Amino acid sequence: MVIRYARTTFPRLAAIALLGIAPLTFAQEPAAPLIPQTPIRVSTDLVLVNVVARDKKGNLVRDLKKEDFTLYEDAKKQQILSFDFEDVDQLAAAAGPTITGAAPGALLRSGKKAAATLDARDRRLIVLFFDFSAMEPEEIDRSVDAAKKFVRGKLQPADLVALVSLATNMHVDCDFTDDRDKLTAALASYASSQGQGFDNGTTGSAEGAAETSGSYTEDDTDLNTFTADRKLLAIQSLVQVLGKLPQKKSIVFFSNGITQTGVDNQSALRAATAAAVKANTSIYALDIRGLQALPPGGEAQNASLHGQSAYTGASVLNDLNGNASSQDTLATLSADTGGKAFFDSNDFSGVFTQVQKDSSVYYVLGFTSSNPAKDGRFRHLKVTVNRPDLKLEFRTGYYAGRDFEHLNRADREQQLEDELSAQLPRVDVPLYAGASYFRKDESHYYLGVSLVVPGSQIPFVTEKDRDNATIDIIGEVLEGGKFPVGHLRDTVKLAVESTREVRRKNVQYNTGFLLAPGAYHVKFVVRENQIGRMGSFETDVHIPDLRKSPLKMSSVVLSSLRVPSAAKKNALNPLVQDQMELVPNITHVFTPDQHLYLQYEIYDPAKGKVSEQGPVSSTSGASNAAAKSSATAIRTRVGVRVLSSIEFLQGSEKIYESKPVVASEVTAPDRKAVVFQIDMPLQTLKPGLYLCQVNVIDDVAGSFAFPRFPLLIREPSSKPSVSGASATSPSK
């Protein structure tokens, strides 16, 4: 057994920071640790189509059966797998909704612990969604007044209404209810000052812009891209919550327009419409600006225009194009989700009448597409009935889902972010993780995290005698499970010689965070970029406040591999000593032909009088050199004295115990730490399961610790051993 002390200098950092440089290592042992039990993820490709049937006189038809309908997708007949009939008009009286799993009115607000469900059969579900983020004060008053008139005069017994608003944040102001007083009180709380003034109009141009005495007109393209995406993502988030209910849902979207900037917002628009279709939700967009007059010189409340556009008609053309552009997105949202858009009218009651009309009596047809391609393309729908005297109303199509191959760069990044915030873990790729902590100073600790993916789960592509692959890694650290204090995003390229047989090994990624003592929740997601499979791992981590501990000790890291490391890129990593990094073995599985490396640290060891043996200085002039060197005496000095040894146990039997190692000095003065690095060959131990115990005693303070770890020594492979390979992820 060999022990050595190493000195490492840590730069002082006052703020919590993420360490972006992390070595990637191919560990030698393809171990298979236990996987914690996780919920099963179930997905379905069922597409729902709402159909309203009317006769020649416009009356609703209620007697159709599943066999009466024929459904086509892109002119190809589809098999109708599910059929349902919703008759809201048959509700005799206003009987309150039945809610289970939470208090009444908690469907939209329910969190992870209380997943409420709403029995909404034969009920009409309406969400009034107010986009205050760009509205002027008079537009806010106009939209609120229209909603109040609907609640007071047109709310029917079958209607369940919820109120949602978007300003700086999206809020559920009133959950589903049929209580007029409750809805009116929530609407009365809206103030005209809630508008945030996030302009979403035309992009900047000096010609035709209002004269504000400024020297230039800024280009607000990026602002408009952000605000448009923000509105669309809010809609997507809302419809995903509504997807808990199988019935048709209607969203009345009060807005003053959404202007897209080129193709920048197409991904968010497509995601919003696809989510709405999947959740069986129709959007009824209402342009709250109403009927607009666009005079050549601008409206009275605006300043005079720049340039000559007011005299050539260009300003009117620009206003018309801008108005049409802001309405185009609303029209797309409505048409692609089976709703209807309402523009250029000061009578806003029509949207509520249309919602009640479309969701009174309808049929719900469900099918699974015969086209398995996940290309994200728009697919046209057509529904026919075997009675020629009927007229059918249904949405004209939907966007198919997209697999990894058809995702663009922005969608792939969004996929990672969505998976990071998802409640259910992905288990397509097995992912294991381990964590350890080391003190930097009394207020900050280095939390080292190691992620392990079996090499067999990564599809490598062999080119020129090298195995190539890329993996994406994203992760976050939440303090108390709520507040983000660390974030990681990295793409690692793997390119190793094919002779190293990477598929038989584990791929290990090491990183770290600088954190204060406390309770944290960490989650990481790994995706291989050949097929797009993902795996996630999350757990709770506690970093203790060692100031309250009798013996201040770090985690004990077990390893079987050391790799060269760039000292500059790993200055904060205590596992890097003398430009060699200790790679944690999170599975604790070894073979007899390996070495067991252990590293741990003791902080603030007590100082006092310690006795030690030393050579006796000769004063008699003796010439016998051997006698001089063998003469010793007990000396006393002021210092530290920390003893440590390693034991291996099987049950109550002690199989092995190393000789105690004595540390008599602080080896990392900047951290006030005694660093133990132990190298122990394993060839003397037989294969089997052991309990490894680390004995640490502060002889001066009289304090001690005996941490234990399970450790498996397995039979070595019959094949020749393969040396480990390592690579370093690109710096950020």
pLDDT in tens, 474-501: 999 999 878 899 999 999 888 777 556 6
Residue 710 pLDDT more than 50? yes
> Which pLDDT tens digit goes with each residue over 105-138?
445 654 444 444 566 667 889 999 999 887 888 8
* Residue 304, pLDDT score: 58
More confident residue, 67 or 46: 67
Query: 46-92+109-206+220-399, which class in CATH?
Result: alpha beta
> Which pLDDT tens digit goes with each residue over 567-596?
555 678 898 888 888 999 988 999 999 999
> Which pLDDT tens digit goes with each residue over 1-27?
433 333 333 332 222 233 333 445 545
CA gap 155, 153 in Å, rounded: 6
* Residue 100, pLDDT score: 39
Q: In terms of C-beta density within 10 A (0-12 exposed, 13-18 middle, 19 or more buried), how is residue 467 classed?
A: buried
**How large is the average pLDDT for residues 667-682?**
92
Alpha helices by DSSP H, 631-722: none
Chain region(s) in the chain for CATH 3.40.50.410: 46-92+109-206+220-399
**How large is the average pLDDT for residues 446-451?**
93
Residue 237 has, within 13 A of its CA and on its CB side, a CA count of 19
* Residue 531, pLDDT score: 87
Residue 637 pLDDT more than 80? no
> Which pLDDT tens digit goes with each residue over 392-419?
988 888 888 878 888 888 888 888 988 8
**How large is the average pLDDT for residues 603-625?**
62
* Residue 123, pLDDT score: 82
**How large is the average pLDDT for residues 694-715?**
93
CA gap 414, 271 in Å, rounded: 11
* Residue 445, pLDDT score: 95
Sequence-separated (6 or more) residues with CB below 8 Å from residue 548 = none
**How large is the average pLDDT for residues 526-543?**
91
Sequence-separated (6 or more) residues with CB below 8 Å from residue 286 = 143, 146, 252, 253, 254, 255, 341, 342, 348, 351
* Residue 168, pLDDT score: 80
Residue pair 106/98 in contact (Cβ under 8 Å)? The answer is: no
Residue 147 pLDDT more than 60? yes
More confident residue, 338 or 32: 338
Residue 663 pLDDT more than 80? yes
Biggest CA pair distance of the chain: 130
Query: What is the sign of the dihedral through the CA atoms of 210, 212, 217 and 221?
Result: negative
Mean residue pLDDT across the chain: 78
Residue pair 496/26 in contact (Cβ under 8 Å)? The answer is: yes
